[in-house]
C-alpha cells in the first residue's frame, strides 16, 4: 500500500484520538471522584460535599460534551480510514465497540442528565445512585475500549480463515484478554490521578486567590490524599504488571521504549539519554546498572534482548516511543513526590499557607494529561509495524478506495475544527472556574437552604 496513504491515515487517527482522549482522561477519573463526593454527602448529610459535587459535575459535563462530540469520529474512522482492518477483524473489534454503546454510553449520557437537571426532581437516593452509575458507565467505557486495544496488542480468542479474515471464537477470551486487565487498570488509574490532581490544582488556585475557602480546602484535601494513593497504584502494581505483559508479549516494544540496542545480561536501566539510532547507542545516558533485568524478569542477571536481535522491519519507530515512555515514567515519579509532599504539609497543618507549594500544584495541572497521552503513544507507536500484533500490518489495514489526498483534506479539516474546539473548551472551563462553586463563604455561618428550581447549565 502507498505509504502516503498510510502516513496520512495514521496522522489523522492519532490527531483525532489524542484530541478526543484529552476529555475522557478527566471524565473517567472525575466521575469516580464525584461519586465519592456524592457518597460522602449522602451518608454524612454534609452539604459541603454536595456543593463540591455540583461544581465538579459542571466541569464533568463540559468535558463529557466535548468527549462525546470528538468521540464519534473515532468509531467512524475504523471504517473510513481502516476499511481492510475493519472488514477482516470487525467480527471481533466490533463486539466490544457495540457493547460500549449498549452499556456505557447510555448509562453515562442518560444519568448525567439526571445528575445535572434532576437534583430537585428525583429523591436524594436516586441522585446519589445516578452519580455512581455515571462513574460506572465511564469506567466501563474505559475498560471496554482498552479491551479493544488490548486485542490489537495481543490478539486472543480468534481463528484465521482462508481469505485473510479473522474470526471470533470466544468473546469471553477477548473480554478477559490477559493483556487487557492491567492495561485497563493502568489507564483508569492514570485518569484517576489526573482527576485528583486537577481537583487539588483548582483547590490550590482558589486558596491562592483567597476565594471559596471551604470548597478549596475540601478539594485540596480530597485531591492530595486520593492523588497520592492513585499515583502510587499507578506505578505499582498496575504499571509494573503492565510492563511485565509487554516484556512477555511484545519484547521488541520493551527494548524500544527502554532504549536497549544490544542484548545484555544484567541490562542496565536508562533514566535519561538520547538514542542515536545510526550508531545504535544512547548519548549522554544516566543509567542504573542491572535494574532493567531486575524489573523485567525479577532477576538482576537476566538476559534482556536488545533491538539488534530483531529484524529492522519489525522494529517500531524508536525515538518517539523511547521519549514518550521516559516522559511518562518521569512525570509519574514526579506526581508521587508532589502528592507525598502535599500530604506531609497537610498532616503538619501548613498546606493552606505554603504558597509556593500551592503554586506548584496549580501549575502541575497539565502534566498528568501529558503523562496519559505519552503512555498511549508508547502503547500505539510501540506496536508498529502491526495494527494487530503479529497478524496484520498497519500498512495492510487501510482503506483501498480512499486516496491520500482525501485524507489530507479531512485531516486539515479536523485540525482546524479541533483548534476551534480546543480554544472554546479552555475558554469555557476557564470561565466556569472563574465563576466558581456556589458561594460558600456564607456557609461557614449559616448553611445555604436547598436551591429551588434547577441547575443553571
Partner 1 sequence: MSSVWFFLLGLMLALYAILDGWDLGVGVIYLFLARTNSQRRLCLNAIGPLWNGNEVWLLFSGGALFMAFPRVYAVSFSGFYLPLMLVLWLLIGRGVSLELRGEIDNALWRSFWDICFAAASTLLALLFGVALGNVIGGLPLQANGAFQGTFSLLLNIHSVVVGLFAVALLALHGANFLCWRTEGTLHDRSREISRRLLIPVCVLAAGAPLAAHYSRPGFMDSFARYPVADLAPLLVLILLTSTVYFSIRGRDSAAFFSGGTLILTLLASAATSVYPYLLYSNINPAYSLTVTNASAPYNGLVSGLIAVGIPMLAVIVYQVVIHRLFFQKLTGREKDGY
Among 27, 95, 250, 321, binds partner 1 (CB under 8 A): 95
Query: Which region, judged by CB under 8 A, interacts with partner 1, from 161-169, 232-240, 275-283, 341-349?
Result: 161-169
Cα separation, 446 vs 457, in Å, equals 26
Classify residue 88 as exposed, middle or buried by CB count within 10 Å of its CB (0-12, 13-18, 19+).
buried
C-alpha to C-alpha distance for 403 and 225, rounded to whole angstroms:
51
86 binds partner 1 (CB under 8 A): yes
Q: Does 117 bind partner 1 (CB under 8 A)?
A: yes
| 80 scored as a contact of partner 1 (CB under 8 A) | yes
- Of 8, 30, 52, 93, the residue at the interface with partner 1 (CB under 8 A) is 93
Helices and strands in the chain: count of H runs, count of E runs:
15, 8
The closest of 371, 18, 145, 152 to 137, measured between CA atoms, is 145
Q: Which stretch binds partner 1 (CB under 8 A): 105-113, 210-218, 248-256, 379-387?
A: 105-113
Reading the block at residue 35, the C-alpha cell is 461519586
Closest CB to partner 1 among residues 9, 200: 9
Q: Restricting to residues 352-411, which ones interact with partner 1 according to CB under 8 A?
A: 399-402, 406, 409-410
- DSSP output for 206-253: HHHTT-SHHHHHHHHHHHHHHHHHHHHHIIIIIIHHHHHHHHHH-HHH
Quote the CA–CA distance of 323 and 375 in Å, as a whole number. 10
Q: Give rounded-to-5 percent helix, strand, coil for the chain.
A: 75, 5, 20
Q: Which of 57, 81, 207, 394 binds partner 1 (CB under 8 A)?
A: 81
Between residue 17 and residue 76, which ones bind partner 1 under the rule CB under 8 A?
62, 65-66, 68-70, 72-73, 75-76
Of the candidate residues 1, 421, 433, 443, the single one contacting partner 1 (CB under 8 A): 421
Q: Give, as one character, the DSSP assignment of residue 451.
A: P
Find the binder of partner 1 among 1, 11, 17, 99 (CB under 8 A). 99
Distance CA 128, CA 418 (A): 34
Check binding of 78 to partner 1 (CB under 8 A): yes
Interface of this chain with partner 1, residues 431 to 450, rule: CB under 8 A: 431
The three grid cell numbers given for residue 430, joined into one nine-digit string:
476557564
What minimum distance in Å lies between the beta carbon of 137 and partner 1? 11
428 part of the interface to partner 1, by CB under 8 A: yes
The binding site for partner 1 (CB under 8 A) comprises 62, 65-66, 68-70, 72-73, 75-76, 78-81, 83-84, 86-95, 97-103, 105-106, 109-110, 112-114, 116-118, 121-122, 167-169, 171, 399-402, 406, 409-410, 413, 417, 421, 424, 428, 431, 452-457
Amino acid at each position: 500500500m502507498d505509504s502516503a496513504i498510510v502516513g496520512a491515515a495514521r496522522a489523522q487517527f492519532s490527531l483525532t484520538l489524542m484530541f478526543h482522549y484529552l476529555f475522557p482522561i478527566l471524565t473517567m477519573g472525575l466521575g469516580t471522584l464525584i461519586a465519592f463526593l456524592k457518597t460522602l454527602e449522602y451518608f454524612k448529610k454534609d452539604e459541603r460535599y454536595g456543593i463540591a459535587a455540583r461544581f465538579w459535575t459542571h466541569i464533568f459535563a463540559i468535558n463529557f460534551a466535548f468527549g462525546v462530540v470528538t468521540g464519534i469520529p473515532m468509531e467512524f474512522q475504523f471504517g473510513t480510514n481502516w476499511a481492510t482492518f475493519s472488514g477482516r477483524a470487525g467480527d471481533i473489534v466490533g463486539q466490544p465497540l457495540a457493547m460500549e454503546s449498549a452499556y456505557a454510553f447510555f448509562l453515562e449520557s442518560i444519568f448525567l442528565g439526571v445528575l445535572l437537571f434532576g437534583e430537585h426532581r428525583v429523591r436524594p437516593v436516586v441522585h446519589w445512585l445516578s452519580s455512581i452509575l455515571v462513574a460506572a458507565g465511564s469506567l466501563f467505557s474505559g475498560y471496554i475500549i482498552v479491551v479493544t486495544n488490548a486485542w490489537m496488542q495481543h490478539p486472543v480468542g480468534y481463528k484465521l480463515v482462508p481469505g485473510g479474515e479473522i474470526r471470533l471464537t470466544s468473546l469471553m477470551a477477548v473480554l478477559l484478554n490477559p493483556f487487557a486487565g492491567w492495561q485497563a487498570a493502568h489507564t483508569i488509574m492514570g485518569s484517576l490521578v489526573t482527576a485528583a490532581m486537577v481537583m487539588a490544582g483548582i483547590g490550590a488556585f482558589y486558596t491562592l486567590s483567597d476565594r471559596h475557602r471551604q470548597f478549596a480546602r475540601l478539594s485540596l484535601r480530597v485531591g492530595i490524599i486520593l492523588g497520592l494513593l492513585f499515583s502510587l497504584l499507578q506505578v505499582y502494581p498496575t504499571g509494573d504488571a503492565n510492563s511485565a505483559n509487554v516484556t512477555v508479549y511484545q519484547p521488541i516494544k520493551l527494548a524500544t521504549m527502554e532504549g536497549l540496542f544490544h542484548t545484555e545480561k544484567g541490562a542496565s536501566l536508562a533514566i535519561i539519554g538520547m538514542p542515536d539510532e545510526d550508531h545504535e547507542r544512547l548519548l549522554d545516558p544516566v543509567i542504573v546498572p542491572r535494574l532493567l533485568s531486575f524489573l523485567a524478569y525479577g532477576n538482576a542477571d537476566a538476559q534482556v534482548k536488545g533491538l539488534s536481535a530483531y529484524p529492522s522491519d519489525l522494529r517500531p519507530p524508536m525515538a518517539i516511543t523511547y521519549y514518550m515512555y521516559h516522559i511518562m515514567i518521569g512525570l509519574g515519579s514526579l506526581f508521587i513526590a508532589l502528592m507525598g509532599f502535599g500530604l506531609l504539609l497537610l498532616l503538619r497543618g501548613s498546606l493552606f499557607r505554603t504558597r509556593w507549594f500551592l503554586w506548584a500544584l496549580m501549575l502541575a495541572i497539565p502534566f498528568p494529561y501529558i503523562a496519559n497521552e505519552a503512555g498511549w503513544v508508547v502503547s500505539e507507536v510501540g506496536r508498529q509495524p502491526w495494527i494487530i500484533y503479529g497478524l496484520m500490518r498497519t500498512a495492510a489495514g487501510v482503506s483501498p478506495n480512499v486516496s491520500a489526498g482525501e485524507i489530507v483534506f479531512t485531516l486539515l479539516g479536523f485540525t482546524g475544527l479541533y483548534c476551534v474546539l480546543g480554544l472554546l473548551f479552555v475558554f469555557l472551563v476557564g470561565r466556569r472556574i472563574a465563576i466558581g462553586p456556589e458561594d460558600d463563604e456564607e456557609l461557614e455561618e449559616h448553611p445555604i437552604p436547598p436551591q429551588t428550581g434547577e441547575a443553571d447549565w
